[in-house]
């Protein structure tokens, strides 16, 4: 039997059956090293990047340990951002779909508090949440953690970066000391080591080396003279390489807004993403970038961590990160699943010392790359192939992706299925992408048709 096969593990038959249906044929390196430890009930520290398969690594251990007949909160998964928490909960539900009556509840900030209290009163097996909102529920008595036997700290380094140390301590004080703890972190700074020593019992440490290599990702460094030249280089880079999906990393929230606004003024379809944005706007931003109706996402490291973003053509470091491991993590967002990636970084002469600390097999200082020619700016800007439409109805109104697709591809003047892109359903609204050329037809079909036997307002998302 293949040594990387999930069938080598002592997993429940229902979990193995589901893994087959999901076409999970082989374990990733982090799964192969983590799962035996997790299934043995031991504490674990795993240093692994986002996109390495770590959710399944702790998720399968969590589901194997879970007693579905015991309707108590048995597992707590803490994540730094709502986006990551939502993605983790979604992945856990997929892994658990052959085990009946498992309830996984998400508790995150940016959402109404009252409905979460109602959900908690109905009970759950697994809580996935952000530290701030989980601690608030614990403090107000709406969340009891005395039955938790498995604690997962996902992206632990980001939680500490975001200042959650005291909040985590308050939560940990309410979790039984006799428990299993699984800690996952892309980096392993001293703060993580100190926390592990306080909250874990003889943990096994594994490190998964970055799986991206110089064959799959091309790194280019351009020297710039000042801020204005940095902005000009951003235009030149986008004009020369013409990526259809680009993630631009900035070091501060203010810079993120400024760069996104500047790109929009130049005619690009660019959106900012950072922690100070309202949750509804963050959701819409991610929907539009994921469905390819916006081509550039300008984000801070914390905001971009753990996002379910695939098919990135390019990553651009507007500034070089102070931390070499963060740089590696940024670069690793492109060139995934065997595809070619492009990572471009800007630096001034004063920032050259940061490059010397990066793990590179090139020397950008000794062998500089020439600037792209200004003539590239004469080329027309790339316009996203898709646009986003919003329907004022979602999960609460029982709207499903199949309803929207059926309304668009059925009846008179139907759209072809290939003209319809990603469909995202939220509690009170739904978003779907269509080819730009058929946007008016799509708008008309939803306006004049019905979903679930009723009419819904629909509009084109602009800006």
pLDDT for res 18: 93
pLDDT for res 434: 96
Say which residues have a Cβ less than 8 Å from residue 463's Cβ, sequence separation at least 6.
Answer: none
pLDDT for res 38: 95
Give mean pLDDT in consecutive 10-residue pieces for the chain, a chain of 463 residues: 78 92 88 94 88 87 94 95 88 92 91 91 95 95 96 90 87 95 87 89 85 68 95 96 94 94 96 87 91 94 68 91 83 71 92 86 86 93 94 92 90 89 92 95 92 90 83
N-to-C CA span, the chain: 54
pLDDT for res 212: 47
Note the pLDDT tens digit of each residue in 382-426: 899 999 999 999 999 999 888 999 899 988 889 998 899 999 999
C-alpha 434/C-alpha 344 separation (Å) is: 30
Q: Which of these, 35, 51, 55, lies nearest to 95 by C-alpha position?
A: 55
pLDDT for res 359: 82
pLDDT for res 157: 85
Query: Taking the CB of residue 413, how many other CB atoms lie within 10 A of it?
Result: 8
**CA angle 286–292–294, rounded 5-degree value:** 70
Question: Could you tell me the CA-to-CA distances from 302 to 122, 188, 253, 378, 387 in Å, in that order?
Answer: 33, 16, 10, 35, 27
* Residues belonging to the chain: 463
Question: Could you tell me the CA-to-CA distances from 8 to 26, 57, 66, 149, 401 in Å, in that order?
Answer: 11, 14, 20, 25, 37
Residue 303 · residue 155 · CB < 8 Å: no
List, in sequence order, every residue forming a beta bridge with 301; answer none if it has no partner: none
pLDDT for res 82: 83
Alpha carbon 277 to its chain's center: 16
C-alpha 173/C-alpha 162 separation (Å) is: 20
C-alpha 327/C-alpha 222 separation (Å) is: 15
Domains annotated on the chain, with CATH: 6-207 (3.40.50.300), 217-378 (3.40.50.300), 386-460 (3.30.70.330)
User: Which ranges of 141-226 does DSSP label H, i.e. alpha helix?
Assistant: 156-161, 165-172, 190-199
Question: Could you tell me the CA-to-CA distances from 353 to 87, 234, 343 in Å, in that order?
Answer: 37, 21, 19
pLDDT for res 305: 66
pLDDT for res 10: 86
Question: Could you tell me the CA-to-CA distances from 332 to 106, 198, 210, 217, 323 in Å, in that order?
Answer: 28, 31, 8, 8, 14
């Amino acid at each position: 039997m293949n040594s990387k096969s999930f069938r080598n593990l002592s997993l429940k038959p229902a979990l193995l059956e589901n893994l087959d249906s999901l076409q999970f044929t082989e374990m990733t390196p982090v799964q192969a090293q983590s799962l035996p430890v997790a299934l043995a009930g031991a504490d674990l520290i795993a240093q692994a990047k986002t996109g390495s398969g770590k959710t399944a690594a702790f998720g399968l251990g969590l589901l194997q340990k879970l007693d579905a007949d015991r309707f108590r909160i048995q597992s707590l998964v803490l994540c730094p951002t709502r986006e990551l928490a939502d993605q983790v909960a979604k992945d856990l539900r997929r892994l658990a779909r052959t085990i009946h009556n498992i309830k996984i509840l998400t508790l995150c900030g940016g959402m109404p508090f009252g409905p979460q209290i109602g959900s908690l009163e109905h009970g759950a097996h697994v809580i996935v949440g952000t530290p701030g909102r989980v601690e608030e529920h614990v403090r107000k008595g709406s969340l009891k953690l005395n039955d938790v036997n498995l604690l997962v700290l996902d992206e632990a380094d980001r939680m500490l970066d975001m200042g959650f140390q005291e909040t985590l301590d308050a939560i940990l004080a309410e979790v039984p000391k006799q428990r299993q703890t699984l800690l996952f972190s892309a980096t392993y700074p001293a703060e993580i080591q100190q926390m592990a020593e306080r909250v874990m019992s003889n943990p096994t440490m594994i490190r998964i080396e970055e799986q991206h290599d110089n064959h799959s990702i091309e790194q280019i460094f351009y020297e710039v003279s000042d801020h204005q030249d940095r902005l000009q280089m951003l235009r030149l880079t986008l004009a020369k390489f013409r990526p259809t999906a680009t993630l631009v990393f900035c070091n501060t929230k203010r810079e993120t807004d400024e760069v996104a606004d500047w790109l929009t003024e130049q005619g690009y379809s660019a959106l900012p993403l950072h922690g100070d944005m309202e949750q509804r706007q963050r959701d819409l931003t991610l929907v539009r970038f994921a469905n390819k109706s916006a081509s550039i996402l300008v984000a801070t490291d914390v905001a971009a961590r753990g996002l379910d973003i695939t098919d990135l053509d390019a990553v651009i470091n507007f500034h070089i990160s102070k931390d070499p491991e963060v740089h590696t993590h940024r670069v690793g967002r492109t060139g995934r699943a065997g595809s070619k990636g492009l990572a471009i970084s800007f630096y001034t002469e004063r920032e050259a010392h940061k490059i010397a600390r990066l793990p590179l097999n090139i020397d950008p200082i000794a062998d500089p790359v020439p600037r792209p020619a200004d003539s590239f700016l004469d080329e027309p800007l790339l316009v996203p192939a898709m646009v986003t439409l919003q329907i004022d109805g979602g999960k609460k109104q029982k709207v499903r992706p199949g309803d929207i697709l059926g309304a668009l591809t059925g009846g008179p003047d139907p759209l072809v299925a290939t003209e319809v892109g990603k469909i995202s359903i939220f509690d009170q609204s739904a978003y779907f992408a269509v080819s730009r050329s058929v946007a008016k037809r799509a708008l008309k079909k939803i306006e004049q048709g019905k979903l679930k036997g009723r009419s819904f307002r629909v509009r084109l998302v602009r800006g």
